[in-house]
Structure formats: structure tokens, C-alpha cells
Amino acid sequence: MRWIIALCLTVAASASVCGQWVGPLSSDVNGFAMGAYARLAETGDNFVFSPLSLNFAMRMVEEGARRTTSAEMAAVLNPAEGAEQIGGNVRRYQASLNGNGACDLTVANSVWVAKGYGLLPAFVDTLKLCYGAACGQLNFATRRACRLACAEVNRWVAGQTNGKITNLLTDNMLNANTRMVLVNAINFKCQWMNKFKPKNSSGKDFYSIDGTTKNITFMSQTSDFDYCETADFKAVEMPYEGGRFSMLIVMPADGQFGKFESGLTSDFVSCVVDSLDNEHIALSMPKFNAASSVDFGQILKAMGVVEAFSGAADFSGMSGKQDLQLSKVVQKTVVEVDESGTEAASATAATMMVKSAYFPKTKHFDIDHPFVYFIRDTQTNIILFAGRYVKAQ
């Protein structure tokens, strides 16, 4: 299984996973994740995104927000954390992820500033200390300069995502008003703890949400998984090597996907996880690819980040002036699910612009109807990636 994610926002120290900061961070990231998920679900199609990458990129922007702009962003991004905690919590969590054991997982950030545009030393220091963000300069003065700047940022993103995302920024996202691009990248590669054997893969029917049926490749294995089953849904959690990360799949009862999804919250996901019991499962699931390209601007506004996108925005914590606003938020994501494991990459760019146990008998779980899925950190319960598969491709 391979996950590739890229996210772009355009704007007109080491610690273990423990301590009091984990609960608020998990609550904030997961609450934000499900808020974004609910609005993406309105598209009615397959999608995948990285709520962690989106959240962390927006937090970098939030570091420079002041007054009402800051209050709005905090209410959406980190209501459980104090303003003084957000950067430190990101630093702690990123440190716990980078170089993690059995999984190849890294988080990186960078800041690209227009030549001649001055940032406050305190803002630059915060991004370096809390986000590990390296700072570079770019020229946005002409169309040719913007094309070169776009290529430079894209090279950085490609390098951080092992070449999986090559065109995060497009030329029309940058112009003479651009003053800064902030980029977050997450790269994740991990094998299943219980791998599927390719020889056991075969064609089966998947029943899509639109009523159509298509024969696609299903992966199959019989093994021990954490599992739960109710009248409303079935759920299984598949761990990756090392045990820290897992994929949670929840398949609502046939014909109940819309009703189920409308009630999907971070508390419900936590409840599902708490309800899982170890079972001997004959598991069958699709081998699938999915790709998403999402403009998060309207979604963030609907969630409550409004002033940041307007001429009233106050990002004076970045430059000491109130001349910047958020203009565009775009995420690109690709996921490949196969027998071996998962590879995921997420890149986020923010651009500032001037205003203008016991085993019973074997149970069978055929994931042949629309389902939702989450890649999550089992130590912190933080959702790294989320998506749904409702139509066979």
C-alpha cells in the first residue's frame, strides 16, 4: 500500500510521545480532521487527505496571526491547546515521528520568502525552533521569476516525498503579490505487520455507492486482527510493523453509508477503537488506487477560518505589518493500497500575499461495500491520513 499526499496553502528538539500535551493535540487534530472530512464528503466520490499535514501547515500560518484572525484560527485548529502550546506541541510530536523504528516516517517544513521582504526575527525563530523550518528566498517579481520559484518549491516537495508529488504548486498560484510560501511535508512508508500474499489476491465484485458493481482485485488473508461488529457497521484495524501505526477500516451496513457518514466524529472513531477485540478474521479487501486534488479555501472558511482570507486579516506577527492575507489552500493526495504495506507522503505549502487475546472461531469480513479508512498513530490516537472508498475504480 502506498500513500502519497501533497498540500499547498497560498496566503494573500526531541521528545518522547508522552506527557500532558498529547491529549489536547490529539483532540485538536482529530476534531479538525473530522470537520474537514464532513465537508469533503459532500463531493460524493472517493477521496483521501492528510488532516495532520493540513493542520500543521495552518498552525505555521497561525503563528503569525494576531487579534481576531488568531482567535478564529485557534478556534478551528487548536481549541484544546493554549496559544503558547501550539508550536511546542508540534515540535514534540514531529520529533517523536521522525526516524520512528520500523516505519520510515519523517516530517519536514520550509519557509520561502520574497527577496527584500522582511520577516520579524521572532516569527522566523519560532518556525525554526518549533517546526524545524529552514528559510530560503525566492523572486516573485515577474512571471518568469514565479515559474522558477514554483519549480524550486516543487523540487523541495519532490525531494521530501521521494518523488511522489512533483507538481504541488502551479504557476498561477504565485504572482507579484506573493510574499511567502510555507511548506510542510510528511513522508510515511511502512509494511503491514501481517502481509497479504499476492497469490491469494483475486477478482471479486465491489458494490459502489451509486448502485453499480465492478469486478476488481481483492487481497485476502486469514489472521488475527482487532475487530468489532454491530448492526450498523463492521470495523477492523490492521497494524503496521512495529505496532505504532495502523489502518482502521469501518464499513457501514449495506445502504447505510450516508446516514453513517453524517454522524462520523472523532469521538465515534475513538469509540470504535475502544470497542475492538482480537478476533481470528478471514479478511478480504480491495487493492485500490485513489487520487485527490482539493482546494481547502472554502472548506476552511466554512469551518470558521474567515478573516484570514480577507482584507481584514491581521498577520502582523509575521512582518510587523498588516499587509498579508491567506488566499488559497490546495492539497494533492495519492494512495496506492497493495499487499505489502503503505507509503504516504504529504506536502503543505502556505503562501502569504499582500492584500489585494481469546480467539473464537474464524469470522469473515468482506470489505466489498463503501468504507472509510484512517491511518492513525496508536500511541497518541492522532489521525495522520483519512479517506473513503465508495466507488470501484
Looking at the fold, whether 242 and 295 belong to one and the same domain comes out as no
pLDDT at 357: 44
* Domain shared by 309 and 209, yes or no: no
Residue 392 lies in a domain: no
Q: Which is it for the CA torsion 365, 371, 375, 379, positive or negative?
A: negative
pTM of the model: 0.88
Same domain, 83 and 155: yes
CB-based contact 138:115 (threshold 8 Å): yes
pLDDT tens column, 237-271 = 999 999 999 999 999 999 999 999 999 999 999 99
Q: Is 205 found in the same domain as 178?
A: no
Average pLDDT over residues 209-237: 96
Q: Which of 14-18, 118-122, 284-288 has the lowest mean pLDDT?
A: 14-18
Residue recorded with cell 490516537? 381
Please indicate, yes or no, whether residues 59 and 208 belong to a single structural domain of this protein. Answer: no
- Same structural domain, 53 and 68: yes
Helices (H), strands (E): how many in the chain? 10, 17
**C-alpha cell of residue 195:** 502481509
343 pLDDT tier (thresholds 50, 70, 90): low
Is the same domain home to 42 and 160? yes
Does any domain span residue 42? yes
Q: Convert the pLDDT of each residue in 133-165 to its tens digit.
A: 989 999 999 999 999 999 999 899 889 888 888
Distances (CA, A) of 269 to 24, 46, 172, 381: 16, 19, 38, 10
* pLDDT for residue 102: 82
Nearest to 322 by CA among 127, 66, 122, 60: 66
Confidence of residue 355 (pLDDT cuts 50, 70, 90): confident
Across the range 285-301, mean pLDDT stands at: 88
CA distance 325 to 138: 19
In angstroms, the CA 280 to CA 268 distance is 24
Mean per-residue pLDDT for 121-139? 93
Q: Is residue 94 part of a domain?
A: yes
User: 326 with 284: CB under 8 angstroms?
Assistant: no
| pLDDT value of position 7 | 42
Stretch among 59-73, 136-150, 271-285, 332-346 having the lowest mean pLDDT:
332-346
Share of the chain above pLDDT 90, in %: 65
Instruction: Report the 10 Å Cβ neighbour count for 197.
Output: 10
Decide if 218 is inside a domain.
yes
H/E element, 195: none
Q: What is the pLDDT of residue 349?
A: 65
CATH number at residue 216: 2.30.39.10
Structural domain total, the chain: 2
241 in any annotated domain:
yes
Mean pLDDT along residues 338-353: 74
Q: Which of 46-50, 216-220, 352-356 has the lowest mean pLDDT?
A: 352-356
**What is the C-alpha separation between 348 and 5, in angstroms, rounded?**
9
Pairing mode, strands 341-354 and 2-10:
parallel
Domain assignment present for residue 389? The answer is no
Task: Please check whether residues 185 and 245 belong to one and the same domain.
Answer: no
For residue 239, the cross-strand partners are 246
Give the SS3 label for residue 88.
Answer: helix
In a domain, 112, yes or no: yes
Instruction: Compute the mean pLDDT over every residue in the chain, rounded to the nearest whole number.
Output: 88
User: Mapping DSSP to helix (H, G, I), strand (E, B) and coil, where does residue 83 land?
Assistant: coil
pLDDT of residue 330: 80
Question: What are the DSSP E strand ranges found in the chain?
Answer: 2-10, 47-49, 104-114, 134-138, 178-191, 202-207, 213-229, 233-239, 245-252, 277-286, 289-295, 324-326, 328-336, 341-354, 363-366, 371-377, 383-389
Are residues 10 and 82 located together in one domain of the fold? yes
Q: pLDDT at residue 17 above 50?
A: no
Q: Let me know: does 58 contact 73? Beta carbons within 8 Å.
A: yes
Longest pairwise C-alpha distance within the chain: 69
Q: Do 113 and 202 lie in a common domain? A: no
* CATH number assigned to the domain comprising residue 329: 3.30.497.10
User: Could you count the other beta carbons within 10 Å of the beta carbon of residue 213?
Assistant: 11
Flag the least confident range among 23-32, 101-110, 244-253, 272-281.
Answer: 101-110
Paired with 159 in beta bridges are none
Extract the C-alpha cell encoding 260.
453513517
Please report, in angstroms and rounded to a whole number, the separation of the first and last CA atoms in the chain.
16
Note whether 372 and 227 are same-domain residues: yes
Distance (Å, rounded) from C-alpha 184 to C-alpha 28?
18
165 and 306 assigned to the same domain:
yes
Question: Are 36 and 281 a contacting pair, CB within 8 Å?
Answer: no
Domain that residue 142 falls in = 2-190+290-354
- Is residue 107 domain-resident? yes
Mean pLDDT to the nearest integer, 296-313: 94
